[in-house]
Structure 1
């Protein structure tokens, strides 16, 4: 299938490549790549310099500073904080709240986020969490009140690819309460496809394990924001709770960010072709991909994203047995959780990433046994299509 950039990119002019490539943290020797400062502690000039600059890697490291500066710039924010995982970043955001505070959360979130909110935030820390369908802004308006301190969402969501109008949501919640914090998990979209801060979000979160790292070899997370007071509050939580990344992981993400744009372009192209293929396949019931005109929120995707992304979910005709047989017939797609790497991955969310939800809740969200989620990698798309066809023949 021959496609042009205009077919799968809504904005063909936007670029972040230069920003991700030209960064260094050490001018001493003119090193093209920033050095890795594998040091847990740093010599102080005197006792009064403690707490200023670099003194202990949990609280800051020159290699970590590089990746934070790049992330802040491509997210079009002023500050960024790197973490040892996406969950550590989520933990940091939720720790802005105290016992008795209320928050609104998107009803369709990554399974780990939902698990944390229920088992830790609600049960252990007494935070009141209301799960809301944020694709419907009227639902947000209905549940928003003066006690809500935080609104937390993903767009697109994992795994049903639902979108929230970030700009409209921010306007609505702040009409009710001006100082509410809005945090957006930007993992599926990445900084290349979506800029939540330009739409009114206070905090942008990324699981750097996925597209930012891009090679399935690290666990990483980031937060970014524009407000210094908010940054300082988040940073204090980050170093007190200890979820800091290693200097080597920071280096790996810095390396990977240099190819983020070119990787994303190819993965989006592959995903678009795969989505079109799946949409026309007789054994597929429905495809969920924001880049397709058939997606119910395609117009919103074109308004706030720069492309439909590289993630696809689709319902196979039949049930759990058919989905599992299809998966067993694959040879090139790797059955695994996670996403965003150079290799194409595939999984059944109901039995894997979202197995922790009750069956009733999965049914409500549309995470049925015949829903399959795939992450398009960098393989030649004709090989991926042949592999999917091989899987369909196994049904």
Structure 2
């Protein structure tokens, strides 16, 4: 083909637009990121943003549905909390600064964030998405294909050539990435893919689910993405005591479209949850640093035991160097394979300190089998086709004492029947099991 994409040539550098955005985002920050996370501006002297006349050390909770006006013909800055609320404005302004976005939006969950984003495409449009996705994302994309006529093409987004081939196959209106992917912890080269998409399909929107890294470790808008979104329920909150989603948008024009959808659909985050999320974000750096340290120890321990471990902080990870170029750390989520589904079930059920639960990002350590829980909504034949092992165990590492986590995991392995390698002991029978299913 004469016009075949030369991936090496077309993605050798970021576009000028993305580079300009990176510089502008850096200029908005006064301090290093860990400091900016703690520094919530309560008053903008220039009058361009949030304003609290009392300069409260903690942002007030404006727990109100509506605001009284002083005029019958003109409304003030706020009139109805569906459209805007001062507590939400503080949170959104803070998240825009942290994410390097022109604007940020707080909504009711991570899936709400994706639902809002998907309303930017319409019937007959085509979306490229990964083949290793969170189960809820896969479920929504399937629903939109059936009921809204939005066509999703699942490809290996860790392979830039595969994305290029799909761009050549026909019109593309959105590219949806996870990196690292959930649960196999594969890495998509956001920088190269964003440049490629913007060159070959200039009107296409590049979207990244950055939940697993958080803005502390990875800022994909600076890598060329148009939209970055998070399940705020996870690392941003850190305590699993609220549901929230955050959307960061690179361009002001695209942000206007996102804001319109949120107001029209009425899915903006309520004042109290905004306050909780803003409080959680302040401790993101210290939590993530501790969780990441623990995760590195756990990954090394499991690899030494002979398991196949998926974690970008291990030099054995096939995309170790790529991830180091994109992010500031490997994060605190990892997965490993045992080679035996029943052995995996016994390991999960033998853990004491590790809670059996979906989700990740909280201060407590969690353990789960994705094919039984977070990804159970994906049919088994599709999981097999996408090479999602039924035996894979996902660990979401918390802030506990690392020695306690390792000791509990070691005990669970021994109780489950593991020898010094990743094989089951012959004398340990398979425990009876009722499969856990989840609608998450």
Query: Aligned partners of 2:54, 2:81: CA distance in 1, in Å?
Result: 23
Matched, 1:336 2:360: no
Query: Aligned partners of 1:111, 1:138: CA distance in 2, in Å?
Result: 25
CA shift for structure 1 position 189: 0.7
Matched, 1:209 2:238: no
Matched, 1:188 2:206: no
Q: Answer whether contact 1:16 1:74 (CA < 8 A) is retained.
A: no
Which SS does the other structure have where 1:292 is aligned? Answer: coil
Q: Which residue of 2 aligns with 1:90?
A: 114
Which SS does the other structure have where 2:129 is aligned? Answer: strand
Q: Answer whether contact 1:20 1:74 (CA < 8 A) is retained.
A: no
Partner deviation per Cα, 1:298-342 (whole Å, 9 max, x = no partner): 0111100101000010012x4221011111111100000010000
Q: Answer whether contact 2:102 2:255 (CA < 8 A) is retained.
A: no
Which SS does the other structure have where 2:360 is aligned? Answer: coil
From 74, 77, 99, give the equivalent of 2:101. 77
Q: Which residue of 2 aligns with 1:250?
A: 274
Query: Aligned partners of 1:366, 1:14: CA distance in 2, in Å?
Result: 40
Matched, 1:163 2:187: yes
Query: Aligned partners of 1:218, 1:374: CA distance in 2, in Å?
Result: 21
Query: Structure 1 residues 14 and 292, CA, compared in 2 at 3 Å: closer, same or farther?
Result: farther
Query: Aligned partners of 1:71, 1:248: CA distance in 2, in Å?
Result: 16
Q: Answer whether contact 2:127 2:175 (CA < 8 A) is retained.
A: yes
From 127, 135, 143, give the equivalent of 2:150. 127
Q: Answer whether contact 2:128 2:152 (CA < 8 A) is retained.
A: yes
From 38, 44, 61, give the equivalent of 2:63. 38
Q: Answer whether contact 1:326 1:391 (CA < 8 A) is retained.
A: yes
Residues matched between the structures, number:
378
Q: Which residue of 1 aligns with 2:40?
A: 22
Query: Structure 1 residues 26 and 32, CA, compared in 2 at 3 Å: closer, same or farther?
Result: farther
TM-score when normalising by structure 1: 0.93
CA shift for structure 1 position 56: 0.8
CA shift for structure 1 position 21: 2.9
Q: Which residue of 2 aligns with 1:117?
A: 141
Q: Answer whether contact 1:17 1:259 (CA < 8 A) is retained.
A: no
TM-score when normalising by structure 2: 0.84
Q: Which residue of 2 aligns with 1:7?
A: none
CA shift for structure 1 position 364: 2.9
CA shift for structure 1 position 368: 1.7
Q: Which residue of 2 aligns with 1:307?
A: 329
CA shift for structure 1 position 367: 2.2
Query: Aligned partners of 1:278, 1:23: CA distance in 2, in Å?
Result: 43
Q: Answer whether contact 2:60 2:87 (CA < 8 A) is retained.
A: yes
Partner deviation per Cα, 1:2-51 (whole Å, 9 max, x = no partner): xxxxxxxxxxx96333343333255433321010000001112224334x
Q: Mark the runs of 5 or more structure 2 residues left unpaired by the alignment.
A: 1-30, 43-49, 417-440
Q: Mark the runs of 5 or more structure 1 residues left unpaired by the alignment.
A: 1-12
Query: Structure 1 residues 14 and 387, CA, compared in 2 at 3 Å: closer, same or farther?
Result: farther
Query: Aligned partners of 2:252, 2:86: CA distance in 1, in Å?
Result: 20
More divergent stretch after superposition (286-295 vs 38-47): 38-47
Which SS does the other structure have where 2:73 is aligned? Answer: helix
CA shift for structure 1 position 221: 0.1
